[in-house]
A and B are shown apart, each in its own frame.
Chain A
C-alpha cells in the first residue's frame, strides 16, 4: 500500500495473526482486512459495514454483496469490484447473474425491485446525489422504505471503502486470492 504504516505498522500480535492467516489460507491477508487492524480506534468502520452487509435486512446477503460490487463498479474501484463480485457470485451460486448486472444492469436477469434499487444507487454514486423522482421510482418498483435505507447503508460503506482502496492503493489479488477472501467474508462477515 502507498503508506508504509499500512504495510508494516502493526503491533507484534497483529503481525503474528497475519502470518497465521497466511499459513492457514495459503494467501496473504487482503489489504482491505489489514486496514481494519490499523488504528481501529480512529477509523473503526467495521461495525457499520458488518451491520449493513450481514445485519437484519429484507435483502439477501447475495443482494447486498451485488450492491457492493455495483457501487464499486460505478466508482471504478478494481479491488472492490473483484472482491465483492466473488462474494456475490458465491452467495448466489450464480456467477453469470453477477457478471450480467455489472455488464448491463438494464438487461440483466434480476427482479425489478433489485434493478430499480441498483439504478438509484448507481446514480447516487456517480452523480453524488439523487432527486425525488429517482427515489419514487424505487418505491414504485415495490421496494420498501426500510429496504431503501438498508441499500443506502451498503452504498455508504462502499463509497468509503472504494475511496480508501484507491487512495491507499490496495493490492489486487489474483482470482484465487479473491476466492479465498470471498470464502472468508461469506463465513465470517466483516468482523
Chain B
C-alpha cells in the first residue's frame, strides 16, 4: 500500500466533511448523491447529470429541483456531493490500477 501523502489525507478529509459534516441536506440524501444512487425525481436527473454530463445542466434542472421543495443550501450540498463522489470513484479507481501495475514490477 502506498504511503499516504498529504494529498490523500486532504482528499479523505474532503469526502468525510461533505458526507458526515454539518449540513442542511440529510446524511442519506448526501450519501445517495455521492453514490449517484436512486433518488426521487427531479433530483435523480440533476445528480446523474452532475456525475456524468455536467456540461448539459440547464437552468431548468436547477429550478425543477428547487421547486420540488429543496432549499438552495440543500441543493448546494447535494451538487457538491455528486461531484466529489464521481471524481473520487475515478481517482480511487486509477490509484488502485497504479498500485496493481507497480506492484507487479
Contacts and interface: CB of A to CB of B under 8 A. Distances in A.
A, B: real partners: yes
Interface of A: 2-6, 9, 38-39, 41-45, 47-48, 51-52, 55, 75-77, 120, 124-125, 128-132, 134-136, 139, 145, 148-150, 152-153, 155-156, 159-160, 162-169
Contacts of A156: 11, 87-88, 90-91
A128 B55 contact: no
* Interface-central residue, A51, A145, A166, A167, by most chain B CB under 10 Å: A167
Contacts of B102: 139, 145
What band does the interface of chain B fall in when counting residues whose beta carbon is under 8 Å from A?
35 or more
A39 B72 CA distance: 13
Contacts of A3: 62, 72, 75-76
Contacts of A129: 90, 93-94
Contact of A42 (B10, B22, B98): B22
Nearest to A152: B94
Interface of B is mostly: helix
29 contacts: A4-B72, A39-B73, A41-B21, A42-B17, A42-B77, A42-B80, A45-B84, A77-B55, A130-B93, A130-B94, A130-B97, A139-B105, A149-B2, A149-B7, A152-B91, A152-B94, A152-B98, A153-B11, A156-B88, A162-B54, A163-B82, A163-B86, A164-B79, A164-B80, A164-B83, A167-B46, A167-B54, A167-B83, A169-B59
B1 interface: no
B5 to A, nearest CB: 7
Contacts of A51: 6-7, 10
B100 interface: yes
B38 interface: no
Contacts of B11: 48, 153, 156
